Chain A
């Protein structure tokens, strides 16, 4: 079988997952897109492992072993990720990624000087209460 077929399929799946990660609003959909990307990588690993095991008589089967590891890690990742999303959803009432903007700068068009002076004491107060 031509090696380009699984490789190109893998690329397309990866970029589809990429699009999902960048474009989806719901955090769980983002996680699903991440799964797609991981699977694309898995396909690559398997394809190249099969190729090398015959072409270079490689008996270590590192590609398949890594695939199994990736699957296990993906399972762990989805578990942790979902736990985080649930915690965020419980605390914030939403799991939309573009609404979680705590790291944003202040409102646009504000004067830098007053912005700094306004955020400075607020940050200090937050530290003090924490």
Chain B
């Protein structure tokens, strides 16, 4: 969709020259695909935050996240796309479903899924969206992404960048994950230990005293 000459223009100067060669209302094939998948993604997201059935919300979230993975692919960031599928769709959503079940979320329509704050929330969200869309469109009206040439997000490129330039943050991130793991275990286990102690020693001469101390 762009030529080598356009690339040179883009790199060298501002994008006014490129805007002449790119019709604003003449979308290319990738743009059309992006637009369609984007619509699906946005729709799924809207359903996620509005549906009254909690489990459906989680499932619609899968659709939205999957749509995003497709968008990543269209933006030539293939490694990110697969990570998105693996972690979000594979892990996070499963975790959320577990959470819904453990908190005994009602199956089926629950009439009180939205709080009384919804109209204020809607106002704020719409205002924020309007402001942001206005700003973003105004700012990047004449900016094009050059998707030709070698993929910008191939696994080789991402890996090289990650392990050449981002090694230290990457390792720090592993510590963070470890901490999160320990934290999650501690948060869950402590309540369980309490429960076990109370169940194991329901009556005792000094049971209540120890509870009081603890």
Contacts and interface: CB of A to CB of B under 8 A. Distances in A.
Tell me if chains A and B make direct contact, with any CB pair below 8 A. yes
A5 to B, nearest CB: 5
The A interface is mostly helix, strand or loop, or mixed, namely helix
Interface in B164-189: 165-166, 169-170, 173, 176-177, 180-181, 183-184, 187-188
A15 B28 contact: no
B100 A49 contact: no
B207 interface: no
The B interface is mostly helix, strand or loop, or mixed, namely helix
Interface of B: 1, 7, 10-11, 22, 24, 27-28, 30-31, 34-35, 38, 41-42, 45-46, 48-49, 54, 57-58, 61, 64-65, 68, 71-72, 74-77, 79-80, 83-84, 87-88, 91-92, 95-96, 98-100, 102-103, 105, 112-118, 120-122, 124-126, 128-129, 132-133, 136-137, 140-141, 143-147, 149, 152-153, 157-158, 161-162, 165-166, 169-170, 173, 176-177, 180-181, 183-184, 187-188, 191
Interface of A: 1-9, 11-26, 28-29, 31-33, 35-36, 39, 42-43, 46-47, 49-51, 53-57, 59-61, 64-65, 67-69, 71-80, 82-87, 89-91, 95-98
20 contacts: A1-B144, A2-B24, A5-B31, A5-B35, A11-B136, A12-B129, A14-B128, A15-B129, A18-B128, A20-B48, A26-B105, A32-B48, A39-B64, A50-B75, A54-B145, A61-B165, A64-B79, A78-B92, A79-B95, A80-B180
